[in-house]
Amino acid sequence: MQVIRPVGREAAAKKYDMLSAIMAHALAGDQNLQRLVLRLMSLITTRYNWQRNELTMGQREIARLWCVDERTVKREMARLRAMGWLLVKRPGARGRVSVLALDLERIMLDTRAAWGNIGEDYILRVGGEAAAETAPSTVVPFRRPDVLVAGQGVWGRAQALLAAEDRPLYDAWIACLADGGLHEGCQILIAPSRFHATYLRTHILPRLRTALLRADPTVTALRIETG
């Protein structure tokens, strides 16, 4: 999947592509999801800095925009962070609000199931599965089992989520991770080598955290060690 980066000459079109994905995802869901996504889109279109990937807006201002109280703002923003769509780029301090960021890759992954409702041209444009099927390739794929063999408990549920959203990535980098246990809210994963662990920390850590949080909201930390 191509990650949308709303910069360069085609920045405007890329922005519309991402907003279209969010909109289609919401319309395919229930009224609670639709309301949440509408509120997020209001923040994006009024206060989001696309070039810097920053959203800076206080809870009082958000409450005024959404026509709700600040308690509702706290609850909805917590939901967006739990989904992995919003990230804390810089925590708030005295006299200064938090700086948030959008995880564009996570948003596109979560909305992928609804892309077909927009049209095949959209799927091809953003680099979905249809594009991968039609594009010629000289790469010979490795054989893999059709049935996912996942572990038990929190990590087992997270494995199933990760495999469902990107099976090639899962097979290459995640399937070999061993469950080191859950200790006081911290999930420990054992990588087969130092290189493997470093790659995971650098490139895949946000995905792992989001999957664990969705598998069990009480997971507060993740540590990757080597066997």
Token reading at 142: 């490795």
* Nearest Cα residue to 25 out of 47, 12, 40: 40
* Cβ neighbours of 209 (radius 10 Å): 17
- Run of H or E including 145: none
Taking only the tens place, the pLDDT of each residue in 182-194 is 998 899 999 999 9
Residue 86, φ and ψ in degrees, nearest 5:
-110, 135
- Run of H or E including 3: none
3-state secondary structure of 90: strand
> What 3 state SS string does 152-187 have?
CHHHHHHHHHHHHHCHHHHHHHHCCCEEEEEECCEE
Taking only the tens place, the pLDDT of each residue in 134-163 is 334 444 444 455 545 556 789 999 999 899
- How far apart are alpha carbons 65 and 43 in whole angstroms? 9
Domains of the chain: 1-140 (1.10.10.10), 153-226 (3.30.300.180)
Quick one: pLDDT band at residue 93, thresholds 50, 70, 90?
confident
The pLDDT of residue 180: 92
Does the pTM exceed 0.85? no
The pLDDT of residue 152: 77
The pLDDT of residue 46: 95
- The answer, yes or no, to whether residue 205 has pLDDT greater than 60, is yes
Quick one: pLDDT band at residue 9, thresholds 50, 70, 90?
low
Which residues neighbour 208 within 8 Å (Cβ) at sequence distance 6 or greater?
A: 158, 162, 174, 189, 200, 222
